[in-house]
Amino acid sequence: MNYFRKVWAIVWKDIRAEIRTKEIFSSMFIFSLLVLVIFNFSIDLLEVNPLDIAQGVLWIAFTFSGILGLNRSFLFEKENDCLQGLMLTPIDRSAIYFGKMLGNLIFMLIMEAIAVPIFVVLFNIGIYDKIISLAIVIILGTLGFVTVGTLFSAMSVNIKAREVMLPILLFPIVVPVIIASVKSTGAILTGKPFDDIISWLKLIAVFDVVFLVVSFLSFEYIIEE
């Protein structure tokens, strides 16, 4: 119980700082909006079936704006060496990981919750009867992205070219999750039966668990100098 209170204290500190500055959220949101709008303008929706491309556009918007948020995540911990301060406290190293990870997850999910309605309007896609299954895919896919993303964010924070390094390190590893998310989002939007989707969801869930366990185990070694 105590462990979760501490994890939550870390999440809450990030949320508080974000409410004050809105730095992470505004950059993520504007970026995803730009992606959606630019794709919307560049594709003639009268000639192309939106369902051929929409799911890919949606996940491009999610993942690339997610990278923006992840890049910042540990940057704040580096100001005044707060990460060292955290490592001096008696909490378990894994609590730092889970706290940062949950914070990133929450920021991304909020961004996605606002981006989806915009997406629906721009691409003229009806999702009203599919909201729940879509939400499940987005939550599972984002979780997989953020579990490794948080680990790599911690890893790349000391690298000079971190803005470039983070996506280069991260994308090859999360590609299975992203592909599965795009595929299952496509299946949901085209109204395939839930049985078709469930195998993709299982795949994402397996990756989520594997990523979570591996990140949990290796985080300690990554943040120690």
Partner 1 sequence: MNSPPIKGGEIRDVDFRMNYVIDCEKVSKSYGNISALRDVSFKLDKGSFLAIFGPNGAGKTTLLKILSNLVKPTSGVVKINGMSLHDEDGEIRKNIGVVSHNSFLYNNLTPYENLEFYGKMYDVPNLEKRIADVIYEVGLTARMHDPVRTFSRGMMQRLSIARVLMPDPSIIYLDEPYTGLDQHAAMKLRDILKNLKKGDRTIIMITHNIERGLEVCTHVAIQVMGKIAYMEEIEKVDRDNFEAKYFKTVGEGHY
Q: Which residues bind partner 1 (CB under 8 A)?
A: 2, 5-6, 9-10, 13, 16-17, 20-21, 76, 79-82, 84-92, 224-225
The token duo for 219 is 């985080």
Closest approach, Cβ 37 to partner 1, in A, equals 30
Angstrom distance (rounded) from CA 101 to CA 27: 18
194-223 vs 93-123: helix crossing angle, rounded to 10: 140
Which lies closer to partner 1 via its Cβ, residue 154 or residue 182? 154
Tell how far CA 50 is from the center of its chain.
24
Side chain identity at residue 117, one-letter code = P
Which lies closer to partner 1 via its Cβ, residue 92 or residue 163? 92
Which lies closer to partner 1 via its Cβ, residue 6 or residue 114? 6
96, 114, 166, 204 from 154: Cα distances, Å: 11, 27, 10, 23
Spatial CA neighbour of 178 closest among 214, 149, 219: 149
The token duo for 139 is 């939550």
Closest approach, Cβ 24 to partner 1, in A, equals 11
Closest approach, Cβ 81 to partner 1, in A, equals 4
Closest approach, Cβ 154 to partner 1, in A, equals 16
Closest approach, Cβ 73 to partner 1, in A, equals 13
2-21 vs 23-42: helix crossing angle, rounded to 10: 70
Which lies closer to partner 1 via its Cβ, residue 128 or residue 221? 221
Side chain identity at residue 3, one-letter code = Y
Which lies closer to partner 1 via its Cβ, residue 108 or residue 223? 223
Which lies closer to partner 1 via its Cβ, residue 90 or residue 126? 90
Closest approach, Cβ 26 to partner 1, in A, equals 14
- 165 burial (CB, 10 Å; 0-12 / 13-18 / 19+) is middle
